[in-house]
Amino acid sequence: MTFAFTPDVAEAVDSEWGVSGTSAERLTGGEESAAYRVGTVVVRIGPVTRGTAVMEWCHQVADSVRLAEVVAPLRTSAGASVVRVGGRPVSVWPLVQGRWLDAGNPAEAEQAARLLARVHRGLRDVVMPARPERSFLELAGGSGELDRWLAGFTRRKQPLHGDYYRGNLLVDDGRIAGLIDWDEAWVGAPEVELAGAAREFGNHWSTDLGRAKEFVAWYHDEGGTAGAMDDETLVQLIRHRLRAELTAFGGDGTDEYYDRVRELFVKLRP
Q: What CATH number is attached to the domain comprising 200? A: 3.90.1200.10
Domain end point (choices 50, 66, 94): 94
Asked if the structure places residue 231 within a domain, the reply is yes
Q: Are residues 27 and 135 in the same domain?
A: no
* Nearest Cα residue to 89 out of 39, 133, 127, 136: 133
What is the domain count for the chain? 2
Tell me, what's the pLDDT at 1? 44
Q: Is residue 1 part of a domain?
A: no
Q: What is the pLDDT of residue 250?
A: 81
pLDDT average, residue stretch 215-225? 98
Mean pLDDT of the 179-186 span: 96
90 shares its domain with 105: no
User: Do residues 167 and 204 lie in contact, with contact meaning Cβ atoms separated by under 8 Å?
Assistant: no
- Statement to judge: residues 84 and 117 lie in one domain: no
Residues 143 and 218 in one domain: yes
pLDDT digits (tens, 9 = 90+) for 221-254: 999 999 999 999 999 999 999 999 998 888 666 7
Residues 62 and 173 in one domain: no
Structural domain boundaries, residue 131: 99-267
Q: Are residues 202 and 244 in the same domain?
A: yes
Asked which of 45, 69, 94 is the last residue of a domain, the reply is 94
- Residue 213: inside a domain: yes
Q: Residues 250, 201: one domain?
A: yes
Say whether both 32 and 126 belong to one domain: no
Last residue of a domain, one of 94, 118, 151: 94
Q: What is the pLDDT of residues 59-69, one digit of tens each?
A: 999 999 999 99
Q: Quick one: 31 and 54 in the same domain?
A: yes
Check whether residue 51 and residue 160 sit in a common domain: no
Shared domain check, 141 and 76 = no
- 164 lies in a domain? yes
Residue 2 maps to a domain = no
Looking at the domain assignment, is residue 245 inside a domain?
yes
Q: Is the pLDDT of residue 146 over 70?
A: yes
**CATH (domain of 26):** 3.30.200.20
CA distance 137 to 13: 32
SS (H, E, C) the chain: CCCCCCHHHHHHHHHHHCCCCCCCEECCCCCCCEEEEECCEEEEECCCCCCHHHHHHHHHHHHCCCCCCECCCCCCCCCCCCEEECCEEEEEEECCCCEECCCCCHHHHHHHHHHHHHHHHHHCCCCCCCCCCCCCCCCCCCCCHHHHHHHCCCCCCEEECCCCCHHHEEEECCEEEEECCCCCCEEECHHHHHHHHHHHHCCCCCCCCHHHHHHHHHHHHCCCCCCCCCHHHHHHHHHHHHHHHHHHHCCCCCCHHHHHHHHHHHHCCC
Per the domain annotation, does 217 fall within a domain?
A: yes
Do 90 and 104 belong to one domain?
Answer: no
